Chain A
């Protein structure tokens, strides 16, 4: 179901990109809220945002939502010993990394869904072998439930443990684009090179929004 709704959103996204004045849609749930401005009641829309979080990164440093204030970032979910879609996802994420390398306004946040095995030192080794240095691309690990909750509720990516799967996890390879207000602005299939190329373009579109 989530997959379908993402597909619809994606279609909307792609068609909106064809327009001249480019602006990415805002995804996720929204609520109308009544506010009083200058004594008048106006209706404002409140969009779904990423809540506060606290994880540990590949350098054993605590990472919170504050580290992503004032940047746009791409989030995904993986684990280092994953032999199925993760190599493809991170081959593609490397393209995003290289496209915006040294741009302080863009970050990447990869959450491990294997909190037992993926200790900071394991993630550090993984990052190094992938060719990632510095902290523009963070690999984080945290309590099982917190990672799974933020994936499903906030980034709208489904991850589950599955005893039937030889790899023990089923998860989706979405790359989710988050803006400076921590709203969801795009979801791209991280295993699909065309969609990842679209993401690389859309990051620039999003950055342009903040130029005025």
Chain B
């Protein structure tokens, strides 16, 4: 091969110095054996390296903002806490101003707190919260499994997609509580009814999220994967799934919101002693006893659990995914 001698010798020296196992099939420099290295070629190599180091330093100057963890936590928790305090304050002032006009009854924050504390305890709200969270966890897990399989099938099989995708989007528009009457007719007031409603609420979001994620995988990644030698399952595992993950996770996040919302609605409507307690039932109980503080307290509990799971689990996961891919600010 017609390399000039200076570079040829440099190649030989470098090959010997670094590692003999070079990736290419043919190593032209090695056959010649070591020879005196002309100073000019060496200078060329080194000045190239120095120039490159300078460029790298200039171009990647952006220093990532490394704050201590407690300041990050504080910056995330403080603003919502302040907003919450402000709401409670306004609420308290409103109650205080209206308390004698008596047109509508609005219990103050203190009343709600006292009511929750009084009704807490293993037999009442504590048990109800546990029951609801347990149902939500089961319902959501089942939704993820079903939604994932459904999403994969729809994304991969074109005729199925043409047939089912519009229905799936339509199902997202239908409040899943609408299924409660049918569920009760089929299954009676039973866990099956509740889980049906939760599934019908969460599965479409999860499936649609996954399909969206898969659709939005840039085709170039699949081509790169194929050129790297990823075929069949390897391609799914190493390219398709990681590339589709952000859409999938945001589908799951929305799926959780729907699951929790549907569960509360179902619990509020489908009530029976065999079902055991649940936050929805507590609310119904409050309604029947005209217990306003308890009803308001239940709403607050529903909010706290719904927001809490999102903030503790889905939001950080999503943030992480987007940040590592350079898709979010900061």
A binds B: no
Q: Which residues of A contact B (CB under 8 A)?
A: none
